[in-house]
Amino acid sequence: MADKQFDLVVVGGGPGGYVAAIRAAQLGMKAAVIEANHLGGICLNWGCIPTKALLRTSEIYHYMQNAEAYGLKADNVSFDLKKVVERSRGVAKQLNQGVGFLLKKNKVEVIDGWGKLAGGKPGAHKLVVEKDGKKVADVTAKNVILATGARARQLPGLEADGEQVWTYREAMVPKEFPKSLLVVGSGAIGIEFASFYRTLGAEVTVVEVLDRVLPVEDEEISDLAAKAFEAQGMKLITGATVKSLYKQHDKVTATIEKDGKFQNIDAERVIMAVGIVGNVENIGIEDTKVKVEKAHIVIDEWGQTGEPGIWAIGDVAGPPWLAHKASHEGIIAVERIAGQKDVHPLDTSRIPGCTYCSPQVASVGMTETAAKKAGRKIKVGRFPFQGNGKAIALGEPEGLVKTIFDADTGELLGAHMIGAEVTELIQGYGIAKTLETTEHELIESVFPHPTLSEMMHESVLDAYGRTIHF
């Protein structure tokens, strides 16, 4: 078997891996991607994209149920679960094929199989690729990027079985719609599934070990989200721990501890959404200087591991576990490998985070609490959706835009939103942070009318006592 030789090999074809390989090809490198399952990784096939397709279905279903509010009539509104799932899977398949096209277009070789480091020396790292237990390729590369992603965390005694206790995978392709659902964990994954199933009619209970849902978000936004979820009929139990799951043929009984007291909750299905762990096993790093801490590969600001020529990006390299972070890390690593002079390390404070529940939640930068703990003297601005003409016209008057500035310098420290389409709006503040924009420049910017984006402007104005429309 001939030894395939490359300038760069990426192990993993997710949103970090395939983007890194394409960027390498653009810079003149001979590049390859080794992928054992699906191009596009978890995000495209079992995460970001298909869940958004499901949530779009539930959003439309909600509007159809409330058609009269818009002067429309829609009788006997229902859904076909099989077709809902088929649409979601079809969207994922279309984009998976698109990734394959992009790699082929950029002359990146795709090797189908499981890639594993197998020795070598700096500048000539060897990898073995296996498929169904058989070796399909020997590969040598000057540089290797590990982009192997992550998987759902399993808690001892609460492990998913794929039948009654689900991870995100099973939750995405239900064969039958559960009448009742228990979601363990209220981060983005847990809350998005809770939102989807609740909107379609399931009785949903969410259990969170911390003292509030969406705990990484600004506390004010988190509180508004909780009120919205409860108004939709969700039951939220915070500061609580699931101690056990007792499976029966038609239900699961969860024993939950809160404040030293125990209660039992019955549900047809349970979704475990308690975080992820990096895929660091069986990739050949044991005899290298690649260091693993808390199930994630340790890297420097460029993505370099402790082993020269071995890099890591994306979920396997630690938080924040976001597809757009992985893609950006991949580009940084590749440009560093190529010796480009204008490469900058990734500033995680400039990475927007989005949760596509109903209402949507989005944020970038420091929360109000974090800014105060950092000793910053701050100015905070707020603007509610009910003061915005476009939001009222859309029938979406519930929400808030919140901005946080350094009182001395005018630096935008953070922005936090809840409401319709805020996952699209947040990038405006993301650009502002990247450009190190001050409140003066944001105030001087002209926002189009009527748009939801006007609330961003008004929130900035409010921080400085100048809001107009509320």
pLDDT, tens only, 332-353? 999 999 999 999 999 999 999 9
pLDDT > 90 fraction of the chain, expressed in percent and rounded: 95
Architecture per CATH, 359-463: 2-Layer Sandwich (3.30)
Q: Do domains 3-151+277-337 and 359-463 have the same CATH topology?
A: no
Instruction: Name the residue among 377, 59, 353 with its Cα closest to residue 214.
Output: 353
Among 62, 416, 449, 469, the active-site one is 449
Helices first, then strands: H and E counts in the chain: 13, 24
Burial class (CB in 10 A: 0-12, 13-18, 19+), 3: exposed
pLDDT score at 54: 97
What's the confidence (pLDDT) of residue 2? Answer: 61
Take residue 125 and report the two structure tokens written for it. Answer: 């790292």
Task: Residues 154-274: name the CATH superfamily.
Answer: FAD/NAD(P)-binding domain (3.50.50.60)
Average pLDDT of the residues in 309-326:
96
How far is Cα 96 from Cα 116, in angstroms, rounded to an integer? Answer: 23
What is the C-alpha R_g of the chain?
24
Band of residue 47 on the pLDDT scale cut at 50, 70, 90 = confident
- Whether pLDDT at 1 is above 60: no
Q: Give the pLDDT mean for 257-274.
A: 97
To the query of whether residue 296 is one of the catalytic residues in this protein, the response is: no
DSSP 21-33: HHHHHHTT--EEE
Confidence (pLDDT) at 121: 85
5-33 mean pLDDT = 97
C-alpha–C-alpha distance, residues 247 and 83, integer Å: 29
> Per-residue pLDDT averaged across 416-436, rounded?
97
Q: Comparing 2-6, 142-146, 188-192, 278-282, which segment has the lowest mean pLDDT?
A: 2-6
For 419-428, the pLDDT digits (tens) are 999 999 999 9
- Quick one: fold of 3-151+277-337? FAD/NAD(P)-binding domain (3.50.50)
Taking residues 9-26, report their average pLDDT.
97
Residue 42, pLDDT score: 85
- Is pLDDT above 90 for 41? no
- Reported as a single tens digit per residue, the pLDDT across 68-87 is 999 999 999 999 999 999 99
pLDDT at 31: 98
Spell out the domain ranges in the chain. 3-151+277-337, 154-274, 359-463
